[in-house]
Structure 1
Amino acid sequence: MEQKVEAIVQWLRDQVKETGVKGLVVGVSGGLDSAVVAYLIQRAAPDNSLGVLMPLKSSRESIDHGKKVMDSCGINHLTVELSETHNVLYSTIKEQVEEKNEFNEKNNQLADANLRARLRMSTLYTLATNYNYLVVGTDNASEWYTGYFTKYGDGGVDILPIVEFTKQEVREMAAYLGVPDEVVNKQPSADLWEGQTDEDEMGTSYDTIDAYLRGKEVPERDKKIIENMHARTEHKRRGAKQFHLK
């Protein structure tokens, strides 16, 4: 683990040097993956790394865990409250669609959640431009393969330092780095709505996805869920499809 951490930290330093920026910024959610990335970028750029807490319909626990992570790793940090901004923007959009009698109640919850992720991305890039930093992503291998991230939201980043590591490997890395135990051991959740968990939403567990990615046998039901998620979200990993005149 020491070698893996040192390799990531050196890679982060190389990205700073190659792109000509001054440092690195990450959004800290109070979850495992963003905690690990906060610790890693603080090691890579102690004087030029920034953790950003962006409360937006967030649980009290998530906010408290995010603050604890930033305090414990010693990263420079700030908080940008986005609840009012989100409420104004979403209510304005909803009002316009309702006037046309085209509001889709079925998709309302997901549209709301995705807007939150994209507002956070916009906030991080605004800060990144201010400080001349790179935006660092927090997706792990399990999330990347299944597409469990918002396109141009938490997936809208410059670099991905832990994308080759499964959820379990990230958890082991967190323990090695000294991430607070309550963050290491908490139930994974994007905190999209009250009681929401990643595994309930996906319909399978991270342990099962990790096993699948390692080439191990998993139940047929879970295998189908994982492969369907991967196929359905290919556009997220590929980026914008381009037209070429033949």
Structure 2
Amino acid sequence: MQNEKVINYIKNWLNNYLNKTNAKGFVIGVSGGIDSAVTSTLCAMTKQKVLCVEMPIHQEISQVTRAQKHISWLKLNYKNVSSVKVDLTPTFNVFKDSLPDTNSKREDLALANSRARLRMTTLYYLAGLNNYLVAGTGNKVEDFGVGFYTKYGDGGVDLSPIADLMKSEVFSLAQTLKIIDEIQKAKPTDGLFGDSRSDEDQLGASYDELEWAMQFEGKQEELSSRQAEVLKIYHNLNSANQHKMKPIPICNIPAEFK
């Protein structure tokens, strides 16, 4: 991949889109992960106003530290970048305590998705105050391969600068952009469970494996046992999360009923 050309193309795309909308800048949630680090840096390179937002919710300290270091690095290198911290832990606690008791095995996942939606609400509040656009941080594997994001959470954005890049390509851009080493070396995680579990722990396969599966066009009978397992994981996730990747279904009423 021609990194410099891709970086310049995304920067120009962001500028052109912003100018068409008459918005005044970008707002982006910074998590301490590679995707938000690369996306926020690309936004900063436009020279437009960029608001980086920390939104911890019972966050593991290493994730908080990485986010803070990245924001400090951005502000040092780009004078158009500002930041704000919104501690959503108390809000999440009140929300959780207000819910009915349940013994559902899906409670942890439902609460994790609720964290993402609280963050989306916060980003759109700040975007509304400043007439900014919410920049998404999803990559191609997450957004169009396995649907590894929260609908109306981190999937609720105005534009997606890196959604046509595989995870490996995002890492490659991070090197060119000189993103801090701690972020480049950290295991990818969505940070929605308040612990150190990685994306791979949740998905059952690494991003490199999922990229391979996403592009696989060979003969399945020639695969190793692990390759066959990864392919099955990919297809199961892709199928289960189609509701995220397709437009909302509309019940079209027959004309003769109207």
TM-score by length of 1: 0.93
Say whether 1:8 aligns with 2:10: yes
Residue aligning to 1:237: 245
Say whether 1:152 aligns with 2:160: no
Residue aligning to 2:26: 24
* Match runs of 1:90-109 below 5 Å: 90-93=96-99, 97-98=100-101, 103-109=102-108
Superposed CA RMSD: 1.3
Q: For 1:54-80, what per-residue CA distance to the aligned partner results, in whole angstroms no more than 9, with x for missing partners? A: 011111111110011111122211100
Q: For 1:131-181, what per-residue CA distance to the aligned partner results, in whole angstroms no more than 9, with x for missing partners? A: 101101000011111000011001111111101111110001011111101
Any runs of at least 4 consecutive aligned residues in structure 1 with deviations exceeding 4 A, and if so which? none
Identity between Structure 1 and Structure 2 (%): 36
Greater Cα offset, 209-218 or 110-119: 209-218
Change in Cα spacing, 1:212 to 1:72, as seen in structure 2 (3 Å) is: same
Aligned length: 238
**2:204 aligned partner, one-letter code:** G
Paired residue secondary structure (1:21)? coil
Residue aligning to 1:180: 180
Structure 1 distance, partners of 2:50, 2:245, is 26
**2:42 aligned partner, one-letter code:** L
Paired residue secondary structure (1:157)? coil
Q: CA shift at 1:216, angstroms? A: 6.5
Q: CA shift at 1:191, angstroms? A: 1.6
Residue aligning to 2:197: 196
Residue aligning to 1:76: 82
Residue aligning to 2:232: 224
Specify every segment of 5 or more residues in structure 2 that has no aligned partner in the other structure, as ranges.
Answer: 76-80
* Match runs of 1:204-215 below 5 Å: 204-215=205-216
Larger radius of gyration, structure 1 or 2? 2
Structure 2 distance, partners of 1:197, 1:173, is 21
Paired residue secondary structure (2:105)? helix
Question: Contact (CA 8 Å) 2:24, 2:48: kept in 1 or not?
Answer: no
Paired residue secondary structure (2:45)? helix
**2:51 aligned partner, one-letter code:** L
Paired residue secondary structure (1:116)? helix
Structure 2 distance, partners of 1:5, 1:62, is 25
Structure 2 distance, partners of 1:186, 1:216, is 31
Q: CA shift at 1:214, angstroms? A: 3.8
TM-score by length of 2: 0.89
Paired residue secondary structure (2:17)? helix
**1:152 aligned partner, one-letter code:** Y
Structure 2 distance, partners of 1:136, 1:64, is 22
Q: For 1:62-112, what per-residue CA distance to the aligned partner results, in whole angstroms no more than 9, with x for missing partners? A: 11100111111222111000000011012102xxx23xxxx2331111111
Structure 1 distance, partners of 2:174, 2:44, is 14
Greater Cα offset, 206-215 or 74-83: 206-215
**2:252 aligned partner, one-letter code:** H
Residue aligning to 1:131: 130
Structure 2 distance, partners of 1:86, 1:240, is 28
Structure 1 distance, partners of 2:196, 2:181, is 21
Residue aligning to 1:51: 52
Q: CA shift at 1:47, angstroms? A: 4.5
**1:26 aligned partner, one-letter code:** I
Q: CA shift at 1:211, angstroms? A: 1.9
Residue aligning to 2:166: 166
Specify every segment of 5 or more residues in structure 1 that has no aligned partner in the other structure, as ranges.
Answer: none
Change in Cα spacing, 1:18 to 1:11, as seen in structure 2 (3 Å) is: same
Change in Cα spacing, 1:239 to 1:57, as seen in structure 2 (3 Å) is: farther
